[in-house]
Structure 1
Amino acid sequence: MGNSVIISVLLIIVCCLEVGLNTLNKAATNKGMSNFVFVLYSNALALLILVPSTFIYHRIKPCGMLSFPILCRIFLLALLGCSGQTLLYVGIQYSSPTLASAIVDLVPAFTFIVAVILGMEKLALKAKSSLAKSIGTMILITGAFVMTFYKGPAIFSHESVVYNRNIDQPLLTTHESNWIIGSSLLTTASFLAGLLYIVQAWIMKDYPEELMVTVIACGFVTMLSAVVAFIAEKDPNAWKIRPDIKLLTICYSGILMVSARSLVQTWAVKKKGPVFVAMFMPLGMVVAVLMGVAFLHDIVYIGSVIGASIITLGFYAVMWGKACEERVIQISETSFNQNQQRLPLLCNKNDNV
């Protein structure tokens, strides 16, 4: 019970930090930051922090031998991480942090579906818990589609936004197109995040060394993102680092997110499984809306509110199903332990007879 509370608190903190990073990233991108260079620099900074920490930790507590199949799994984890990070931040560039936090709510649905396909989660539709998780997953996907393809009228906007439709019609058309592109990229990033949790669980099952896995994966992500950045980013100025919001965003991402978040999530997946970790993703949505309106002057549309409400409903349906499932498992384990305690007494009684 104590571990569950600690893991839950850490995952909630990670979700809030994730929203802060998305908001900072959007602001830095508006100032000209390249997302390809950002992914490279933030992972390289995280690697500089993780390598000495891992070395010191494993000098005290030696880790298990790393086999080639496990190394291949970690490379797959890094490939998913690099692709997901790049798609996420490019998607935010085309849309907004608020939409990103809403679309990320699909991660539990994707994780649950893949876990069921691979047999990591049991699906018994006659049980209330499985039925709730299945219905909640469908509701989550419906809410994401609403947020992606239905915008509706603005219900809150900053005073600086111009409402003259005759003047801004071409800009609105472009904005609609960018919104759909951003939504598609964010949805793909969410699917990759779901796969990432599954691969993490696959690795932890056979190699439960979360710190070593994190540092090796970060090294692979740094190499992969370097290749992508050198190919995609042609502007020499994009590689320059100055003491501004771009540097702040890179430090925030490298120190708090890539290194700390990766460790927390890998440890949580090891202890509680991929679906449990994914369930905490939707909690950052409200924070994202508030931060987007306050700092980025985002416009809040009726479609976003309706979609977010549907996603929240789906999230709590899945969480309720997960809680019911864990309660049943806990009762079963308690009954088993009680039976085990009675068996020696029965054996002694038979011996005396």
Structure 2
Amino acid sequence: MELKNPYLFAILIQIIQVGMTLFTKAAFNGGMKSYIFIFYRQMTGTIFLVLLTAMFERRSTTPLTLLVFFKIFALAFLGITLAMNLYGITLLYTSASLVSVTANCLPVTTFFFAILLRKEKLNVKKITGVAKLGGIAICVGGVATLAFFMGPILNPPFALHNAQHEPQHQHHVSTFGSTKWIVGCFLSFFSVSSWGLWFVLQAGVLKIYPSKLHFTSLQCLSGAVQSFFVAIAVERDLSEWKLGWNVRLLAILYCGIVVTGVAHYLQSWVIAMKGPVFLAMTTPLNSILTTIGSMFLLGESINVGR
């Protein structure tokens, strides 16, 4: 399966990620536990990816060594198990718009790890290097301002899924600016940092194991196994694992098939073609669309800063 337009697919990935944030927040507002949700989405994604792999890469696989599998397993822990569980806690503690705003640090963390691992170069004696440093400063400053300073509130005129009536949302409003909100901001940054390192390390593994569907499937399966043990350790009440015909199931199907199955596969292609920093640079689009969506679809109030 060859993809030819990295710019188009990078934008498509961000649009898909917007849906992930909104669906996930809606499921959490409905009372679903984040650890269980992550396991279900990973299992759904694994099943979908295995079917795709059987159709398109059955005979074009690269030999899988034990060392490569270990690297893929470690990548799954970093970018799926760790990052997604931190992301889930952040959504519970804060809001969908805040999570999307802190995601704007992804270009910064990705660029930092790319420099640290010598995947990118920074020359402060050139105008391009100064521009990069200036962009980093503006990015971090803007995210910090939006995360920690509360200004006028914009209430949505209408919402398709009114989160104001959800008990989880009421809890969220009472903790804005409190310890939980601040903890959520820091956890969101750690999640983004984990994703940034994940992007950079994926580029190296894809060079030695270029079968992208197999690569994505193995990552997804590894993440599902890891997420199961995390979920079963935290939540042993079997009633919490039951699914019904509601927003929880819809969120799992969307995040499992569209995000884990489609977006992660496209992501591996974009990283292989243009590098991890290129993909991370498209994340500001995510925050704009998520802020609009969380206001009109979830009924979240939006702070506009001081």
Q: TM-score, normalised by structure 1?
A: 0.78
Distance 1:231 1:15 in 2: 32
Distance 2:172 2:207 in 1: 51
> What do residues 67-106 of structure 1 show as CA deviations (whole Å, max 9, x unaligned)?
2221121111100121111111221121111111110010
Distance 1:244 1:293 in 2: 21
Query: Aligned in 2, Cα 1:293/1:171: closer, same or farther, shift over 3 Å?
Result: closer
Q: CA deviation at 1:57?
A: 2.2
Where does 1:43-62 land on structure 2 (aligned, <5 Å)? 43-59=42-58, 61-62=59-60
> What do residues 126-149 of structure 1 show as CA deviations (whole Å, max 9, x unaligned)?
222222112211221112211222
The letter of the residue matching 1:284 is: N
Tell me which residue corresponds to 1:73.
71
Q: CA deviation at 1:236?
A: 2.2
Where does 1:300-315 land on structure 2 (aligned, <5 Å)? 300-303=302-305
Tell me which residue corresponds to 1:285.
287
The letter of the residue matching 1:65 is: P
Q: CA deviation at 1:249?
A: 0.3
Distance 2:10 2:173 in 1: 37
Tell me which residue corresponds to 2:61.
63
Query: Is the 1:19–1:97 contact (alpha carbons within 8 Å) kept by the matching residues of 2?
Result: no
Return the index of the structure with the highest Cα Rg.
1
Distance 2:197 2:16 in 1: 22
> What do residues 16-37 of structure 1 show as CA deviations (whole Å, max 9, x unaligned)?
1211221111111111111111
Tell me which residue corresponds to 1:18.
17
Q: CA deviation at 1:46?
A: 0.8
Tell me which residue corresponds to 2:207.
205
- Structural RMSD (CA): 2.1
Tell me which residue corresponds to 2:113.
114
Distance 2:173 2:243 in 1: 33
Tell me which residue corresponds to 2:271.
269
Where does 1:211-290 land on structure 2 (aligned, <5 Å)? 211-290=213-292
Gaps of 5+ in 1: 162-169, 307-353
- Other structure's SS at 1:176 match: coil
Query: Is the 2:110–2:277 contact (alpha carbons within 8 Å) kept by the matching residues of 1?
Result: yes
Query: Aligned in 2, Cα 1:215/1:172: closer, same or farther, shift over 3 Å?
Result: closer
Tell me which residue corresponds to 1:298.
300
More helix by share: 1
Query: Aligned in 2, Cα 1:87/1:264: closer, same or farther, shift over 3 Å?
Result: same
Distance 2:259 2:92 in 1: 19
The letter of the residue matching 2:18 is: V
Indicate whether 1:127 and 2:129 are aligned: no
Q: CA deviation at 1:284?
A: 1.3
Distance 2:157 2:9 in 1: 37
Q: Percent identical across equivalent pairs?
A: 29
Gaps of 5+ in 2: 163-170
Distance 2:54 2:302 in 1: 47
Q: TM-score, normalised by structure 2?
A: 0.90
The letter of the residue matching 1:76 is: A
> What do residues 243-300 of structure 1 show as CA deviations (whole Å, max 9, x unaligned)?
1110000000011000101100011111111100111111111111111111222122
Query: Aligned in 2, Cα 1:29/1:62: closer, same or farther, shift over 3 Å?
Result: same
Tell me which residue corresponds to 1:136.
135
Distance 1:148 1:238 in 2: 31
Task: Flag the structure with more relative contact order, 1 or 2, with Cα contacts below 8 A and sequence separation at least 6.
Answer: 2
Distance 1:136 1:229 in 2: 38
Q: CA deviation at 1:172?
A: 6.3
Distance 1:239 1:218 in 2: 20
Tell me which residue corresponds to 2:168.
none
Q: CA deviation at 1:48?
A: 0.8
Q: CA deviation at 1:173?
A: 5.9
Query: Aligned in 2, Cα 1:38/1:130: closer, same or farther, shift over 3 Å?
Result: same
Indicate whether 1:152 and 2:127 are aligned: no
> What do residues 39-66 of structure 1 show as CA deviations (whole Å, max 9, x unaligned)?
001110111111132133233x422211
Q: CA deviation at 1:159?
A: 7.2
Distance 1:294 1:171 in 2: 18
Q: CA deviation at 1:185?
A: 1.5
Distance 1:138 1:174 in 2: 28
Aligned residues: 292
Q: CA deviation at 1:182?
A: 1.8
Query: Is the 1:73–1:199 contact (alpha carbons within 8 Å) kept by the matching residues of 2?
Result: no
Where does 1:304-343 land on structure 2 (aligned, <5 Å)? none
